[in-house]
Chain A
Amino acid sequence: MCFRHFHRAEAPLLLLLLLVGCGTTGRKAERLRIDGSRASMSLPGEEAEAMLPDSIPGKDTLVVTDDRTGAQMLIMRAVKDEDGEMVAHEQLEAAYVSARFRNVAERNGKVTLKFCINVPRQMMDSKWQLRLQPSMEVLGDTLRLEPVTITGKDYRRAQLRGYQQYERWLKGIVSDTTVFIRRWQLELFLERNLPEVWAFRNDSSWVSDDEFQSVFGVSEREAVEHYTNKFRRGWNRWLISRKDKTFRRLVKVPIQTDGLRLDTVIVSEEGDFLYEYAQEISTRPRLRKVDVLLSGAIYEQDRQVYTIPSSDPLSFYISSLSAFVDPTERYLLKIIERRVSANTACYIDFGSGRYEVDESLSSNREEIGRIKENLKALIMDSRFDMDSIVVHASASPEGSISYNRALSAKRSASISRYFDDWMKALCDSLDAQSGFLVSEDGSISKSESHKCILFTSRSDGENWRMLDKLVQLDSVMGPACKSKYMEYASIKDLDRREKLMQKGIASYRYMREHLYPRLRTVKFEFHLHRKGMVQDTIHTTVLDSVYMAGVQAIRDHDYPTAVTLLRPYADYNAAVAYCAMGYDASAMEILRKCERSDRVLYMMAILHSRKGEDREAVQCYLSACALNPGYVHRGNLDPEISVLKKRYELKYEQLQ
């Protein structure tokens, strides 16, 4: 300041400026802006990075220009060496390097990232609120973590004051609207003019307005409305409508309670603020690295005063047990047979004593249609060729056995013929449809025609076996009838049996009407073979998809699924899945039986370490390192091994 130009008139102005220029907080914010202060993050277990200004490394070498000659000279530090000569000596100052990355191990599909947030003293003030926003970058996505808020005492007090003012304002709102009714006058009015309503005043059952009206046509509702202080009610309603606006006006910055990691009120401003932040994240496949960044802002009242510049990112490298999975493929042996058979049954009704297929009779059309569909499906199936179809027809017991046998034979023959004709027609039409193939050289060839299929018919005669079963399972027949039936079932002569049943069993009529029709079944047996196969059986190997899915689940860190899928296999990969899920005993059981490769030994080291068997663990680990020196470094990534390394000071040289 130039005191020469200090006029008296300017004095009050200057004073004013000084006062107005800033509350102390304004100056403080200005200072922060100049300094570019920032909050920093560091890894726990290390010294928190001090807010040192960048120190200029001390120079050992000076370049001096001679004023007179303009020549440049190099002046360097010199020491005497062993010969006594003065030799230039450069000394580099040790630079302070702090680790900005850390290895974390994933266990059970989750990783815990821990870091310390350090806020320097000059960024805190009782009138300010610091909002620190850590965020992490995961596979290209940036995710915001829960913010950390540091609130100054005065800031908090102002917030609370806002809430108190709002509470006071709320008290002006009446919640019980009956307050607005002039009860005294209303009750007198009702007593005089609506005596029926008055008589019911203690009865809370609902009555419509039309029922009770005064002599001069005034209903209760009208009376209530008249004796309500409408102005006060309207005013109250208006106040309620302004609740939100008033809240925003009085409580400028509401106190946040959730979505926050921490909201602490600082009482004294001595010392820096240190907060250890731990965040658990679930790992995804291919997730190897997570970067954590810190940004934030300082708020005074409701406006932002300073934006904290982003800090340097902190990197976490994620290592996982899924790296130990054995990705070799596994195959299953599959036996494919040439011959295949299928069967279906249907009920085709015939007229009494008749054996022609009559489509219009009862439900024949549906049944026949169904069989035709089945047949068509099998014919059109390109994997199989049909060899033969065997038709079995059976009859119900009424009538003589010989007659029934002949009849059922005729019936099954008739059915065979019927379907045979139909099949021939079908094959012809399919051939006509499939047309010709024209190959590249112009030659025309017809696609292979469908071979015609052999229909064989068999007759089963009277279907007593099925009747036995039906009677057993029947719910309508009484136990007496059933036992009678059982008695008769021992009779070998079927005709006599039938006659005795007709006379002896009370519910014979029921059996005749309900059970007998179900005995007249026609069974179709389809015999097929695989198209193009000559041998009777073929052995092939196929990829074991279940196993491979289990291996992929391990890679995707989906350990529960992996355990479920790999459990029956009980091999090395299953052991890896068990180990990742924490089923140490099961894992160890399997690994003991495995051949001791480097992987197996390392896994065993981890398992021993988890159980606390240090000696075995170190033994296995050393053997693993002997087989594969890469595990020397890997040991740092797994907490079970790194703890051993620290405890027993297994140095790099020892492991060579």
Chain B
Amino acid sequence: MKCSIVTAAAGLFLLLGYVTATAQTYQIGLNAADLASLGTMSAEAGVAIQRHWTLGAKARLNPWTFNEGDPAEQYQNKRQTWWTGARYWPWHVYSGWWTSSGLQYSEFNTGGISSPLTREGDAWGATLSAGYSLMLADHLNIEFGLGFWGGFQTYTVYSCPVCGKVVDSGRKAFLLPNEALLSLMYVF
């Protein structure tokens, strides 16, 4: 599974590079805040197509399971999230305020953090975020941001991280906070 994710990520980058050969500046980065949510690794890439617009793609991956095997102690926030979308910068790309929206697919398996109920499923939706990009150095930005998303998810709720007993399952709409950004971006 890990292999396929990495391949997919690499493929996405290449795809982006191929599509946007005419643009001038690129940005890649990672979100430190995500790490706080039980070690989610994230990578983001963007490309500026115009003074006020960038296109971007982001992937988040959390493969970690903590205290695996122990039904009482095990907790995880496993997920893989794929996002693609556009950002609008009112002043100029890669400096100042921005808002973004896009489409996101997320596959998740979360449980054992506050209660043993484990929710597993996948979600599709549209995201809306806003934030600020502060230039730190010639090629370095630090980004702050908040976002939420809404859409549909199919889920199954188990009674504990390792149990098989289904407590609930179904499809429903949702509106949830999506991300908190505190990321370091490299602009080139």
Q: Is the interface of A mostly helix, strand, loop or mixed?
A: helix
Contact B135 A216 (CB under 8 A): no
Contact B51 A185 (CB under 8 A): no
Contact A215 B24 (CB under 8 A): yes
Contact B135 A188 (CB under 8 A): yes
Within the assembled complex, what's the spacing in Å between the Cα atoms of A191 and B187? 12
Contact B138 A216 (CB under 8 A): no
Q: Nearest residue in A to B139 (C-beta to C-beta)?
A: A192
| Chain B residues with a Cβ closer than 8 Å to the other chain, count | 17
Give the contacting residue for A217; candidates B25, B51, B134; CB below 8 A: B51
Q: Please, which residues of chain A bring their CB within 8 A of the CB of B187?
A: 192
Q: Please, which residues of chain B bring their CB within 8 A of the CB of A531?
A: none
What is the CB-to-nearest-CB distance from A190 to chain B, in angstroms, rounded to a whole number? 11
Give the contacting residue for A218; candidates B48, B92, B94, B137; CB below 8 A: B92
Give the contacting residue for A185; candidates B25, B50, B95; CB below 8 A: B95
Within the assembled complex, what's the spacing in Å between the Cα atoms of A192 and B48? 13
Tally of A-B residue pairs with Cβ under 8 A?
A: 33
Within the assembled complex, what's the spacing in Å between the Cα atoms of A570 and B135? 95
Indicate whether A226 reaches chain B with its CB closer than 8 angstroms.
yes
Contact with B along A190-218 (1 / 0, CB 8 A): 01110000000000000000000011111
Q: Please, which residues of chain B bring their CB within 8 A of the CB of A215?
A: 24-25
Do A216 and B91 contact each other (CB < 8 Å), given the known contacts A189-B135, A191-B138, A192-B138?
no
Contact with A along B24-56 (1 / 0, CB 8 A): 110000000000000000000000101100000
Contact A188 B92 (CB under 8 A): no
Contact with A along B3-28 (1 / 0, CB 8 A): 00000000000000000000011000
Do A192 and B91 contact each other (CB < 8 Å), given the known contacts A215-B24, A216-B50, A217-B51?
no
Q: Please, which residues of chain A bring their CB within 8 A of the CB of B95?
A: 185, 188-189, 192
Q: Nearest residue in A to B95 (C-beta to C-beta)?
A: A189
Q: Please, which residues of chain B bring their CB within 8 A of the CB of A192?
A: 25, 94-95, 135, 138-139, 187
Contact with A along B126-141 (1 / 0, CB 8 A): 0000000011111100
Within the assembled complex, what's the spacing in Å between the Cα atoms of A189 and B137? 9
Contact B93 A216 (CB under 8 A): yes
For chain A, the bracket of interface size reads: 10 to 19
Contact A216 B92 (CB under 8 A): yes
Within the assembled complex, what's the spacing in Å between the Cα atoms of A189 and B91? 11
Q: Nearest residue in B to A218 (C-beta to C-beta)?
A: B92
Q: Please, which residues of chain A bring their CB within 8 A of the CB of B94?
A: 192
Within the assembled complex, what's the spacing in Å between the Cα atoms of A44 and B17? 103
Q: Please, which residues of chain B bring their CB within 8 A of the CB of A191?
A: 138
Contact A226 B51 (CB under 8 A): no
Contact with A along B104-147 (1 / 0, CB 8 A): 00000000000000000000000000000011111100000000
What is the CB-to-nearest-CB distance from B50 to chain A, in angstroms, rounded to a whole number? 7
Contact B93 A188 (CB under 8 A): no
Q: Please, which residues of chain B bring their CB within 8 A of the CB of A193?
A: 92
Within the assembled complex, what's the spacing in Å between the Cα atoms of A215 and B187? 15
Q: Please, which residues of chain B bring their CB within 8 A of the CB of A216?
A: 48, 50-51, 92-93
Q: Nearest residue in A to B53 (C-beta to C-beta)?
A: A216
Q: Nearest residue in B to A187 (C-beta to C-beta)?
A: B135
What is the CB-to-nearest-CB distance from A183 to chain B, in angstroms, rounded to a whole number? 12
Contact B51 A218 (CB under 8 A): yes
Within the assembled complex, what's the spacing in Å between the Cα atoms of A198 and B138? 12
What is the CB-to-nearest-CB distance from B180 to chain A, in angstroms, rounded to a whole number? 23
Within 8 A of B (CB), among A82-133: none
Q: Which of B94, B134, B135 has the most CB of A within 10 A?
A: B135
Contact B91 A226 (CB under 8 A): yes
Contact with B along A157-200 (1 / 0, CB 8 A): 00000000000000000000000000001001101110000000
Contact with B along A487-508 (1 / 0, CB 8 A): 0000000000000000000000
Q: Please, which residues of chain A bring their CB within 8 A of the CB of B92?
A: 189, 193, 214, 216, 218, 226
Q: Nearest residue in A to B94 (C-beta to C-beta)?
A: A192
Within the assembled complex, what's the spacing in Å between the Cα atoms of A324 and B134? 95
What is the CB-to-nearest-CB distance from A445 to chain B, in angstroms, rounded to a whole number? 106
What is the CB-to-nearest-CB distance from B52 to chain A, in angstroms, rounded to a whole number? 8
Q: Nearest residue in A to B137 (C-beta to C-beta)?
A: A188
Within 8 A of B (CB), among A210-239: 214-218, 226
Within the assembled complex, what's the spacing in Å between the Cα atoms of A218 and B93? 11
Within the assembled complex, what's the spacing in Å between the Cα atoms of A274 and B134? 73
Within the assembled complex, what's the spacing in Å between the Cα atoms of A46 and B136? 86
Give the contacting residue for B135; candidates A185, A217, A218, A226; CB below 8 A: A185
What is the CB-to-nearest-CB distance from B54 to chain A, in angstroms, rounded to a whole number? 11
What is the CB-to-nearest-CB distance from A226 to chain B, in angstroms, rounded to a whole number? 6
Q: Nearest residue in A to B135 (C-beta to C-beta)?
A: A188
Contact with B along A435-456 (1 / 0, CB 8 A): 0000000000000000000000
Q: Please, which residues of chain B bring their CB within 8 A of the CB of A189?
A: 92, 95, 135
Within the assembled complex, what's the spacing in Å between the Cα atoms of A588 and B93? 99
What is the CB-to-nearest-CB distance from B165 to chain A, in angstroms, rounded to a whole number? 56
Contact with B along A268-288 (1 / 0, CB 8 A): 000000000000000000000
Contact with A along B160-188 (1 / 0, CB 8 A): 00000000000000000000000000010
Q: Nearest residue in B to A217 (C-beta to C-beta)?
A: B51
Within the assembled complex, what's the spacing in Å between the Cα atoms of A531 and B64? 139
What is the CB-to-nearest-CB distance from B73 to chain A, in angstroms, rounded to a whole number? 48
What is the CB-to-nearest-CB distance from B11 to chain A, in angstroms, rounded to a whole number? 28
Contact A188 B138 (CB under 8 A): yes
Q: Nearest residue in A to B91 (C-beta to C-beta)?
A: A226
Q: Which of B91, B136, B139, B187 has the most CB of A within 10 A?
A: B91
What is the CB-to-nearest-CB distance from A181 to chain B, in angstroms, rounded to a whole number? 15
Q: Please, which residues of chain B bring their CB within 8 A of the CB of A214?
A: 92
Within the assembled complex, what's the spacing in Å between the Cα atoms of A509 and B28? 99
What is the CB-to-nearest-CB distance from A194 to chain B, in angstroms, rounded to a whole number? 11
Q: Which of B24, B25, B51, B92 has the most CB of A within 10 A?
A: B92
Within the assembled complex, what's the spacing in Å between the Cα atoms of A218 and B95? 13
Within the assembled complex, what's the spacing in Å between the Cα atoms of A191 and B138? 7
Q: Please, which residues of chain B bring their CB within 8 A of the CB of A226?
A: 91-92
Q: Please, which residues of chain A bring their CB within 8 A of the CB of B139?
A: 192
Q: Which of A191, A192, A193, A215 has the most CB of B within 10 A?
A: A192
Within the assembled complex, what's the spacing in Å between the Cα atoms of A393 and B135? 103
Contact with A along B88-101 (1 / 0, CB 8 A): 00011111000000
3 tightest A-B CB contacts, nearest first: A216-B51, A188-B135, A215-B24
Could you write out 23 A-B pairs with CB less than 8 Å apart?
A185-B95, A185-B134, A185-B135, A188-B135, A188-B137, A188-B138, A189-B92, A189-B95, A189-B135, A192-B25, A192-B94, A192-B95, A192-B139, A192-B187, A214-B92, A215-B25, A216-B48, A216-B92, A216-B93, A217-B51, A218-B92, A226-B91, A226-B92
Which A residues form the contact surface with B (CB < 8 A)? 185, 188-189, 191-193, 214-218, 226
Beyond known contacts A185-B134, A214-B92: 8 more, CB 8 A cutoff: A185-B135, A188-B135, A189-B135, A192-B25, A192-B138, A192-B139, A216-B93, A218-B92
